[in-house]
Structure 1
Amino acid sequence: MKRILSLSYDDLPSHLRTCLLYLSVFPEGYEIGKDRLIRIWIAEDLIQCEKQGESLFEIGERYFYELIDRGMIQPVYKRWYYDMTENCRVHNMVFELICYLSCKQNFVSILDHVHHTFPSKEIIQRLSLQNCMVDHATHRATMSMQEVRSVVVFPSAVNILPALASFRVIRVLDLQSCCLSQGYSLKYLENLVDLRYLGLRDTGISQLSREIGKLQFLQTLDVTGNEISSLPSTVVELKHLMCLRIDSWTRAPCGIGSFTSLEELSTLCIQDSTDLIEDLGNQTELRVLGIDCHTGWNFKRFEKSLVECLHKLQKIHTLSISVVGECKLDAWVAPPHLRSLEITGCCSSTLSAWLNPLLLQELSFLSIEVRKIRQEDLEILGSLPALVYLDVEVGNQNHGILRRLVFHDCSFPCLVHCVLRGYIGPVAFQQGAMVKLERLHLAIPVLETREIAGGFEFGLGNLPVLQDVTFLLRRGGAGEGEVEEAERALRRAIEMHPNHPTLEIL
């Protein structure tokens, strides 16, 4: 089996072989985050720019998916979103091979309860600490950290991580999920002047030192999952920063507009002014953006600034906006490369103004709130060619629909998961609509459905691959008998469906 897998490995281009070997830093069976992996590849210079203007991350994504296509790694999908690979795993046979090759080539040195792969000369280039065993003390005493380029530490091994002062040329320091609130210190972090990747996610820290501004080559900083109330102002001195991940409760300093290479920023909290939004407008390389806004101070000014900012961000493909207050995005036109859009708290008056199916050929995830939804809006959504996940909430009862919404033939050709919430009216699914739909969550106004549609027949039998259905009955004004009638009709429709999908009525 090793010989067979070796043939597949040898058939890889040299750059993919190197990227694959790097996966040996993770434990066997570990679920590896796609974005985390690609950012580390970039920090290690394992990804080379192929043409001017192309993002290193996009090249890394190509590497990642090519390894999947060649069967060297296994994709892990979101449970409810089948078209998006968030993570990957390495099959145990492939894992054994790359661990063997990593040791043979002195590519990665591993410490865990199974592997003790250390080079004979004890010169370590990449160090993976996976398990804190007593008999590792001897190894640690003889390890030289002078040439270590990359250190990835897992929670059970944080106690054997050498002091940061031991490292001289380190580029990657990944301590994700290691508890640093007690014990291990980040003292001398500012001395790691070659550091490109700093992963401190879920480490229990409560602050970052002002000295972090000295890490002039830092490309990725991830401090999510901690109780950090604010970032030091020196963060804006990190001129090469490409990815900044913080929590929505972590205040970012003014001056974010000084970054020149920023591609990912999430989640930025905007509370008391539009200065941060105006800074964002200068980040024209942004591909991923998440913002959490509080607009009580001046929502009209905020709305204008946000729309102006979004118009400038034409490379955005993942956008998440959460607003506490009042905001409309009717003046915005979604950019053509958008793949994922999630907007909560903003109620748009109409979808036709900013969703153009002819431009949005890549949009696969959409979660939005609207004041009302009309048949023409539904047809716009149904024309999005790549849409896999849809969540629409109609937010105002005064704009309720007075007629049935019809999902026509050939609409929503790729949709797998559909959620229709809020003050949605009666619906009907025609033959040929939503041919790939597996999960449906539907709010049903009992009285309106009886009065407008004359009953509770929605055409569920026209959804050929339906597997899971959730109905939320809006009982407002309906008697107990009418609610029971609705429940009986819905259960009967599910029983008659050829797939016999699971049913939950709320």
Structure 2
Amino acid sequence: MAYAAVLSLMETLKQILDADDQQHLLDHKKHQFESLLGKACSLQDFLEDSWQTSSEAVQSLEQRIREAAYTGDDLIMSRMSRTEGFLWQVKFMLQTLISAFWPDQDLEKVIEEIDSIMKEVMEFKDGGGVKDSRPRNSLTAGPSTQAARVADTMVGFDDDLVQLKDRLIGQQSKLQIIPIVGMGGIGKTTLAKNTYQDPFVVYHFDIRAWVTVSQEYCLREILLCLLDCTTKGLTNEMHEEGDEELCIRLYKSLKGRRYLVVIDDVWTTKAWDDIKMLFPDDSSGSRIVLTTRLSNIAAYVNSCNPHHQMRFLNDDESWKLLQEKACVEENYLELEKFGKEIAENCRVLPLTIAVIGGVLSKHDKTQDIWEHIAKNVSSFVTSNDEQCLRILSLSYNYLPHHLRPCFLYMGVFPEDYEIRVSKLIKLWVAEGFLKPIISQSLEEVAMKYLQDLIDRNLVLIRQRGSNGMIKSCSIHDLLLDLCLREGRKEKFLCVTKVTANTSLNVTNGGRRLIIYENSVKGHDASASLIRANNDTLKSASAVRSFIVQVVLIQHHQYLAYTTNGKLPSSISVLRNLQTLIVHQMIMSFLFKLPPEIWEMPQLRHICFTECALPDLCCGQIEGAVFIFPGRLETLQLSGISCFTEDNCRRVENVKKLGIKYDHASARGQWERYSLNNLGQLHELENLKCLFGGQDYLMLLTSPRKLPPPMLTFPPNLKKLTLSGCLLPWEDMTHIGSLPKLEVLKLHRNAFSGDVWEPIEGEFLRLKYLKLHHMDLAEWRADETHFPSLQHLILKICRLKEIPSGIGEIPTLELIQLDDCYISTVTSAIHLKEEQQSLGNDGLKLFINYSTVTESTKKLISRA
């Protein structure tokens, strides 16, 4: 992983050269470090230019670049560490890993190696580079090849076949381009083949042609393949003609005829640009079907109409396909249990099911064999089908260098792990995987990288947030295996499982070591080191004071761990720390963050449980110069935090703030915590403010009610979540007047009172409204009060009915009811029926109940 290694080295050098408190490390080496940084930049440019070249010469250079950059990075990083207080623990861990992976080398030797590499790079460039030695993928023409003559078994895609046929033979006379999109092995080509060979489709079109393009293609071969389909066969004259003459001949063969052309496995927009002018549009109902793994290509070739997105099989469809591939008759009932388990372990991917089905077809149909295969699906796929691995590897091999480390990093997460995007991005940033872009934050760059991986169907979206942004993602198990395999090959990561009694084996040289117990299904994500629990720490001979989870990045940029004690003041020596996450084991124990937290200028994300924000006056350090962390973007605290004017100034650039008050000592003393100063946080976009806890809820039922907290809201707020505030509904006007508010979530007792009557002219940009466990009985609202509302969520509310005027909001897409009154359900159904009678079929209604009576079932069936 040469590109990631060079980025990491560059990040280390920039930190030393830019940091005032690291100047003592430079001395006479400043010029040396500056020269090394320049060479690293040149190597980065070389890697970016050569990512599509797989010659042995380039691969050898990349391996040398990777080893030299990693070694130099570690040598420099070890000198950056200051062994005092808390930091000696960090340094001990890092040096333990470094000594296990790399021998001690002098930096001069590393520089000599990089100079040697630079010389070869220059020779490579001067010689015009090395031509790609990869064999070209063969191109297949339609009826003349086995690939297009015989359709593959297709199970579970009957609806897809019907939809595709409808688009092929529809009434639209103009030429239509229909992209089929999905990850490798999901069945794109199979669907295209079955449609291509459908008798009605064959009858409908005058002429059909099929060509497979793949990653490396030759325009001449594409032309000959298509001509082989559109003429009565290739002649000697055609073989002797030039590309331009072949283009003209192909165009004339299609002119005036209703044709169907399937262009299979397209990887670049250039491939489409090279051939798109070959297809005439005579308004005769011609169609082009294009299969690709890349969503951006689908959008490029057809931006007007939707593409056909392939889905995964469900469990029943997977079992049915496995039966067909394994040649199992329906009377083999004793195999059904293990067969369904095998199908489930294949992760509903047709390619995997086909491979395992082929294995099963060659064995005796006994329970023992099927049970054994059910427990070892991945190993059977790996050992029995090289084509399966080749198909999946194509997606990785085609990734540009800047995306490869981000993709391989998905291997640090276990199977079926739902990855929070916010955490993933913080880790990518801390790892130094991201190339800075002018006018964009690193988090914005990371989101672009993630979206690119999603568009390539390598990463799956699991959840979207209320604002429509991607909240969590995951990766298919087969692609996870690909990450681990390529990660080991590239010495990028190593995953190991240990128990309390086993020793840690780190001999394979993986750059990132992920350690967790066999019994632990999930673990915290890491880039450099993961400790699953205290026993694992002992087996790894690491620092004993880290109790449960430790995540460390080599540049001390990301730290997450669980403790039963206070955060030491020496945390401030981690000058480069960007993300600090601390989980408190003893939840009833509350402590204040040390005031030294203000001395950490690089902090961008602080997430704590059971702690409070320190105030300058509570523990000023003698002689200390307090620096407010102007880059701070995320602050999540649980405890009695005081937002004085001084503290607000120190976090004035924060974009996401979460605070929670749930202790008895906070009752009735909201004014002490200066929440009215939150309005000074002009950069704040996301605020979550929760009041509660058991003591607080008990007070709600007592004769003496708590006074509502004094809250003010900053003007740039886009998302607001409140709970337990007991604000009067009259105060809602302060929220409604926020000009940028798009998401509002009100949870248990956020507001107090029976009636909410909004004011016209407010909530102009609100798209998402959630009312959860509210005592609100009457809501006097209509379309003028929420002109941009898209989603309305009501959960466990006393609301008697939804105002009919809500249904007239032109942007409304969804109403969801969870355990609401029957009268509320009835009003929602009437509202939807009224909109349908007016021609509005776009409004969706979801009704969920934990317990459902027969009368409620009938109501729900109407929706």
The offset of 1:336, in angstroms, is 5.0
Say if 1:388 and 1:416, in contact at 8 Å, map to a contact too. Answer: yes
Say if 1:83 and 1:388, in contact at 8 Å, map to a contact too. Answer: no
User: What is the aligned partner in structure 2 of residue 390 from structure 1?
Assistant: 745
User: What is the aligned partner in structure 1 of residue 659 from structure 2?
Assistant: 321
User: What is the aligned partner in structure 2 of residue 299 from structure 1?
Assistant: none
User: What is the aligned partner in structure 1 of residue 516 from structure 2?
Assistant: 154
User: What is the aligned partner in structure 2 of residue 30 from structure 1?
Assistant: 417
1:372 aligns with 2:735: no
Secondary structure at 2:468 match in 1: strand
- Whole-Å separation in 1 of the counterparts to 2:412 and 2:612: 40
2:599 maps to which of 243, 251, 258:
258
- Whole-Å separation in 1 of the counterparts to 2:807 and 2:457: 37
User: What is the aligned partner in structure 2 of residue 163 from structure 1?
Assistant: none
- Whole-Å separation in 2 of the counterparts to 1:174 and 1:182: 9
Say if 2:428 and 2:446, in contact at 8 Å, map to a contact too. Answer: yes
User: What is the aligned partner in structure 1 of residue 578 from structure 2?
Assistant: 242
The offset of 1:187, in angstroms, is 4.4
User: What is the aligned partner in structure 1 of residue 634 from structure 2?
Assistant: 288
Code of the residue aligned with 2:651 in structure 1: it is L
Larger Rg: 2
- Whole-Å separation in 2 of the counterparts to 1:416 and 1:404: 17
- Whole-Å separation in 2 of the counterparts to 1:230 and 1:378: 37
Query: Mean alpha-carbon deviation: is it higher for 62-71 or for 257-266?
Result: 62-71
Taking a change above 3 Å as real, the CA distance of residues 442 and 44 of structure 1, as seen in their structure-2 partners, is closer
Taking a change above 3 Å as real, the CA distance of residues 3 and 497 of structure 1, as seen in their structure-2 partners, is farther
User: What is the aligned partner in structure 2 of residue 479 from structure 1?
Assistant: none
User: What is the aligned partner in structure 1 of residue 783 from structure 2?
Assistant: 431
User: What is the aligned partner in structure 1 of residue 615 from structure 2?
Assistant: 274
Taking a change above 3 Å as real, the CA distance of residues 334 and 502 of structure 1, as seen in their structure-2 partners, is farther
The offset of 1:440, in angstroms, is 1.6
The offset of 1:500, in angstroms, is 5.7
Taking a change above 3 Å as real, the CA distance of residues 441 and 428 of structure 1, as seen in their structure-2 partners, is farther
Unaligned stretches of 5+ in structure 2? 1-183, 185-388, 521-525, 621-625, 692-706, 833-843, 852-863
Say if 1:461 and 1:497, in contact at 8 Å, map to a contact too. Answer: yes
Offset from partner CA, 1:448-479 (integer Å, 9 cap, x none)? xxxxxxxx56336557544432577xxxxxxx
Say if 2:779 and 2:799, in contact at 8 Å, map to a contact too. Answer: no
Code of the residue aligned with 1:74 in structure 2: it is L
Q: What is the alpha-carbon root mean square deviation over aligned residues? A: 4.6
- Whole-Å separation in 1 of the counterparts to 2:493 and 2:574: 25
Structure with greater strand share of residues: 1
Taking a change above 3 Å as real, the CA distance of residues 102 and 462 of structure 1, as seen in their structure-2 partners, is same
Taking a change above 3 Å as real, the CA distance of residues 272 and 287 of structure 1, as seen in their structure-2 partners, is closer
Secondary structure at 2:445 match in 1: helix
User: What is the aligned partner in structure 2 of residue 121 from structure 1?
Assistant: none
Code of the residue aligned with 2:745 in structure 1: it is L
How many residues align? The count is 407
Matches within 5 A, 1:82-231: 83-103=468-488, 106-108=489-491, 126-130=493-497, 144=507, 147-156=509-518, 172-175=528-531, 178-180=532-534, 184=538, 187-189=541-543, 202-203=548-549, 217-224=555-562, 227-231=563-567
User: What is the aligned partner in structure 1 of residue 450 from structure 2?
Assistant: 64
Secondary structure at 1:223 match in 2: strand
Offset from partner CA, 1:254-285 (integer Å, 9 cap, x none)? 31122121111122655697348898971221
Code of the residue aligned with 1:493 in structure 2: it is S
- Whole-Å separation in 2 of the counterparts to 1:407 and 1:441: 23
Say if 1:349 and 1:370, in contact at 8 Å, map to a contact too. Answer: no
2:803 maps to which of 458, 470, 475:
458
User: What is the aligned partner in structure 2 of residue 492 from structure 1?
Assistant: 826
Code of the residue aligned with 1:418 in structure 2: it is K
The offset of 1:171, in angstroms, is 7.2
User: What is the aligned partner in structure 2 of residue 469 from structure 1?
Assistant: 817
Say if 1:311 and 1:333, in contact at 8 Å, map to a contact too. Answer: no
User: What is the aligned partner in structure 1 of residue 5 from structure 2?
Assistant: none
Taking a change above 3 Å as real, the CA distance of residues 277 and 380 of structure 1, as seen in their structure-2 partners, is farther
Code of the residue aligned with 1:172 in structure 2: it is S
Offset from partner CA, 1:171-190 (integer Å, 9 cap, x none)? 71122xx2325873564449
Code of the residue aligned with 1:20 in structure 2: it is F
User: What is the aligned partner in structure 2 of residue 17 from structure 1?
Assistant: 404
- Whole-Å separation in 1 of the counterparts to 2:760 and 2:547: 45
The offset of 1:504, in angstroms, is 5.8
Code of the residue aligned with 2:721 in structure 1: it is L
Code of the residue aligned with 1:502 in structure 2: it is I
Say if 2:412 and 2:527, in contact at 8 Å, map to a contact too. Answer: no
Code of the residue aligned with 1:326 in structure 2: it is W
Code of the residue aligned with 1:13 in structure 2: it is P
Say if 1:33 and 1:86, in contact at 8 Å, map to a contact too. Answer: yes
Code of the residue aligned with 1:436 in structure 2: it is Q
1:441 aligns with 2:791: no
Offset from partner CA, 1:51-70 (integer Å, 9 cap, x none)? 49x65444333322332233
Offset from partner CA, 1:359-387 (integer Å, 9 cap, x none)? 34xx2353363632336335325x535x2
Secondary structure at 1:333 match in 2: helix
Unaligned stretches of 5+ in structure 1? 109-124, 159-169, 191-197, 296-301, 447-455, 473-486
Secondary structure at 1:255 match in 2: helix
Secondary structure at 2:745 match in 1: strand
